[in-house]
Structure 1
Amino acid sequence: MKILIVEDEPQMLENMRQSLEKEHYNVEAVSNFKSALERIGVYNYDCILLDIGLPDGNGLELLKQLKKMNKTGGVIIVSAKDSLDDRLNGLDLGADDYLPKPFHMAELHARVKAVMRRRNFEGNKIVEIGNVLINLESRSVQIEGEEIVFNRKEYDILMYLITNKTRLVTKAALAEHVWGDHIDQADSFDFIYSQMKNLRKKLENATINVEAVYGVGYKLQIS
């Protein structure tokens, strides 16, 4: 899943980034209001970790912008400001949670997982779709009771398709979401094709499959 960190304290930002990347999240980070506004205007995120006190603006204004843009990702306010007014304002503006500094990284991980489960899977830790069983905590996948080993990108592609199972996912959207904003430097989408080929092979015995829509992208099919 894709996370944006908006944090102006360099050491805190780097600690959060490294900790979340170890949990296999696709993490991007910015340290000011202007950069954050640019990012949310161009990209979509599953979860945004948002500091309120930014050097060039108030993080709560970003929440207002997210609402105007109809962005559907989760937001956790991560801030040293722990007044009741800050909490209430943030929640009123659409934030999902409020985590005051200082905090343990384990608590941050737990909050992020909880927000994503609520947003995408109605709070469940286990996702069952057809004969496929996915444990969100261990990132393990079973088909007909047999565990199938997916690499990190195959798993990320599968989960992105599942969370967008009613939509046609473009190659560009899939690449940007799973590989991050560095995708802008890619010359082609050939790397997606190889990952998708492996993913479809591993889903041969599943009651879900990935349909390629020529020239556009992919859509999850459930039989």
Structure 2
Amino acid sequence: MIRFENVTKIYRTDGHRRTILERVSLTLKPGISYGILGINGAGKSTTMRLIGGTEEPTSGRIKRGLRVSWPLGFAGGFHPMMTGRDNVIFVARIYGENPKRVLEFVEDFSELGSYLDVPIRTYSSGMGQRLAFGMSMAIPFDCYLIDEVTAVGDSRFQKRCVEAFSARRENADVIMVSHDMETIRTWCTQGVVLLNGRAIIYEDVNDAIEVYRRLNA
């Protein structure tokens, strides 16, 4: 269970104040996968970062009663000066996982070969995504966060990504941001629509999609 308790998120830049969420209280229940919808700038990615804990609310609390992933395929959390191998070992230890097991999985899955032993700052964006996706699949989570990324690389590697993620989905939930409504419909059963600082849960994802389409009309 993930619970927002009176959560407000405000950004202040150059004297301007932008409210993303305003006193939002809601509960995301286990066993349910949610699509987060809203027009551009509504705060979808910010809400995902709040759920994942990579950003803190301006006020209020977020309680997590389950193990939540970082956004799938997100490579921004790696240290650019460290090698891929050292990053994998570091992250595995943070999550209390066996570094050897995680490293073996990532080494096989990412297919980066000798590039695992060079600094991540030398990686292309695709290589970084391969490493990040492999890390996401190597560590079991109760809930996976997906911000527009479900697969990376060429068609063969994309197929591996989909197969690995489908296996994880058998025992895990999804919270997803995507502009593709068919993807939302495929992976999610309920929807959360962000509008003017509010977050409204729809128990039928199709209702959430219909509201989203009206907002974009």
TM-score normalised by structure 2 residue count: 0.31
Higher relative contact order (CA 8 A, sep 6+): 2
TM-score under structure 1 normalisation? 0.31
